Chains A and B, each alone.
Chain A
Amino acid sequence: MKRVLPVVVLALLLAFALFPFLWAVAASLRPEAELFRGPSLLPERLTAEHYAALFEERDFWVPIRNSLVVAGTTTLFCVIVGSLAAYALARLEMRGKSAILGLILAVSMFPQISIVSPLFLLLRSLGLIDTYPGLILPYLTFAMPLTVWLLVGYFRQIPADLEEAARVDGATRWQVFTRVVLPLAVPGLAATGILTFLYCWNEFLFALSFTLGPERQTVPVAIALFRGQYQVPWGQILAASVVATAPVAFLVLLFQRRIVQGLTAGALKG
């Protein structure tokens, strides 16, 4: 009993966690007419028609490209600028360090909705509505605090002796940072980059507010606004959901250990 109970509980919760997704994958492979006849465990016929329609009729490449450009640029910028800031906050002597860390944490807790109206007016006056920079700039509000916060944690884990040894050998602070610290921090930089990318890839409110049409819509916005002529196009919506989840699932499977470390360390040490 003592050994069985946790396993049973775990199995039930795992089923709860996986079922909706597996169900959607199965449904995305069934013909539309069959879907509306009600659910069944075994599809009568498998089809890839929804996936084909997604790319041929709906140009789903466009939102995928938009998401990749916006999430990729934001992540790259944040990791570069954020790693400088995080190194200083983790290692260098400076005043007001805890005030800066507190500010960064506070910004990361900002409700997005509370800055959406001024950001809209700002982007409109700059002519950036419905452009890539018009999404990348707002994304920095949540991506920058996240990157800095996670990287401070990683930099603190790097043994200080190595840096001191390099200093004794006559290296400048900058050389220590680029030649000693950064190479050691590569796993941490990668994990941070992945998490930042995921947050950008999944973002919805800003992408919905600051784009006007399909040309610049990101994947979540495009899927949420799918409309059919007569009824909800479930087949295509589910196929698109599977496509949107695929990169996420891939990254999660590959880097699950690091992601969990980053998440829990960031939260518990905060």
Chain B
Amino acid sequence: MRGLSDRRLAWAFVAPALAVLALVALFPLGWAAWESLHRHDLRMPWLGRPFVGLENYADIAADIRFRAALGHTVFFTAASVALEILLGLVLALAMDRTFRGRGFVRAALLLPWALPTVVAALLWRFLFDSQAGIVNSILNEPLVWFVHPFAAWVPVVLADVWKTTPFVALLLLAGLQGIPRDLYESAAVDGVGPWTRFRRVTLPLLRPAILVALIFRTLDAFRVFDLIYVLTGGGPGTATEPIALYTFNTLFQNLRFGYGAALSVVVFLVTFGLALLYIRLLRRQE
């Protein structure tokens, strides 16, 4: 070890991790892009794997189920992220003001965030179950939530809000605690009311933290899979099917690997585009 220069040592330290990432992430991504240019149907191995150019992408452009799935994903992302940021902000402000029992509160909030998404989905399916669920026994007119194309979204969005608002709140709380206290005091001296203080002091200073929470949540919500797979299975029919689930079904139910690969490349490009957009926004902030 003594013979190595610092720079060489640094590369020797980084190399194994980079090799792992190249093998399990970059190489498969390239493979998916290549695969997406072929017709590859595992149900019909005798057809082989002919090169078809961009045919799969042309098919996606005309695919009604894909367009619907994209719509569902955008709707789910917009609805749940908006609610999460709003509720998370309220929660963070409340936590910032109270001091007693903060450790307990934090642990209680971390629980929904830390448990498996599959478990969260099952808990909410149980709450909304048509026979055993508590929601229907509170409502006067019981509803079979999971057979109604729009009502089925209610438990889905609620479960996501329940699971991820704590994360948003903790991120925003960290941001709130970074705001110098004397700013509030000087605002109080100037006789500014709480609402104006919130709008003029808290919100602008909290904007970077809100943006970070927005980035993480949007990218996460956009690839939603576990929650919907377990809660509704994408149903009734395909009324709640997001693009990740459509891609999964194309791959593992229909075994259309070429088309599935093209779908997954589209998902990747959309996510990547969103990430770039957000990074640009974040840079402009700074």
- Complex contacts, B247 vs chain A, CB 8 Å: 113, 116
The reply to whether B261 and A117 contact each other, CB–CB distance below 8 Å, is yes
B175 lies within 8 A of A115 (CB): no
Interface pair B115/A6, CB less than 8 Å apart: no
Residue interface bits A1-41, CB-to-B below 8 A is 1, else 0: 00100110110011011101101100100000001101100
Contact A148 B174 (CB under 8 A): no
Given contacts A10-B105, A111-B244, contact A38 B111 (CB under 8 A): no
B261 and A118: CB pair below 8 A? yes
- Provide the main secondary structure of the chain A interface: helix
B32 touches A6 (CB 8 A): no
Among B35, B124, B271, the residue within 8 A (CB) of A121 is B35
Give chain B's interface secondary structure class.
helix
Asked if B108 contacts A220 (CB within 8 A), the reply is no
Which residues of B lie under 8 Å from residue A103 when comparing CB positions?
18, 21
Whether, in the assembled complex, B277 has its beta carbon less than 8 Å from a beta carbon of chain A, the answer is no
Say yes or no: A21-B111 contact (C-beta < 8 A), given A109-B219, A117-B260, A209-B252.
Answer: yes
Asked if A168 CB lies within 8 Å of chain B CBs, one says no
Residues of A within 8 A of B219 (CB): 109
**Cβ of A115 and Cβ of B264 under 8 Å apart?**
yes
Are B129 and A85 in contact, with the CB atoms below 8 A? no
> How far does the alpha carbon of A36 sit from the alpha carbon of B76 in the complex, in Å?
31
By size class, the interface of chain B is 35 or more
Chain A residues positioned under 8 Å from B11 (CB to CB): 88, 94
Q: Which candidate, B52-60, B90-98, B196-204, is the interface stretch facing chain A?
A: B90-98
One digit per residue, 1 when the CB lies within 8 angstroms of any chain B CB and 0 when it does not, for chain A 216-249 equals: 0001110110000000101001100100110011
Using a CB–CB distance below 8 Å, which chain B residues touch chain A? 1-2, 4, 6-7, 9-11, 13-14, 16-18, 20-21, 23-29, 31-32, 35, 87, 90-91, 93-95, 97-98, 103, 105-112, 114-124, 126-127, 129, 131-134, 137, 162, 166-167, 170-171, 173-175, 208-209, 212-213, 216, 219, 222-223, 225-226, 229-230, 243-244, 247-248, 251-252, 257, 260-261, 264-265, 267-268, 271, 275
17 pairs from A and B in contact (CB 8 Å cutoff): A13-B87, A17-B108, A17-B162, A17-B166, A20-B123, A23-B123, A35-B132, A38-B132, A92-B6, A93-B6, A100-B18, A109-B271, A110-B271, A114-B32, A118-B28, A140-B24, A205-B248
Query: Which 3 residue pairs spanning A and B have beta carbons closest together?
Result: A85-B17, A118-B31, A88-B13
